[in-house]
Amino acid sequence: MSGLRFTSPPPGLAPLVDFSLRAIDGAEGLYSLESTEQAGVRLFVLDASRYFTGYEPAVPLADRAGLGLEEADEPTVFVVANPGGDGTTVNLMAPILVNPATGAATQVILDGGQWPMRAPLAA
């Protein structure tokens, strides 16, 4: 799953939809999500299952269908990491969902206030 194609551009990155996902050496579960359409556009994302046990956002049915997921299929869930002066936070309100079989991806904004936009990443 090194190539990802978003069903629509991620927020703030329009019109880009094609990205590569590259593992960061020495940091298991940390990836660089890099545009294949525009050099220099990059986000750092974390495999949510490795860093946030219990984080199981409800995936809207329309998003599941858009990714080509069958009822029993589970998407791979990534969260965007935001380094800052006070440490790194992750956006749990807007996960990136990926169909691991096809590389289809989407970033969703979850309804409700269950998940924070700036959750601290524990050391």
123 pLDDT tier (thresholds 50, 70, 90): low
CA distance 13 to 16: 6
Number of domains in the chain: 1
Identify the pLDDT of residue 1: 59
Average of per-residue pLDDT across 4-25: 95
**For position 71, which CATH number holds?**
2.30.290.10
Identify the pLDDT of residue 90: 94
Q: Which domain holds residue 75?
A: 3-120
Alpha helices by DSSP H, listed for the chain, are 48-51, 61-66
pTM, rounded to two decimals: 0.92
More confident of the two residues 85 and 67 = 67
Identify the pLDDT of residue 4: 97
Average of per-residue pLDDT across 64-72: 91
**Percent of the chain that is helix, strand, coil (3-state, to 5):** 10, 35, 60
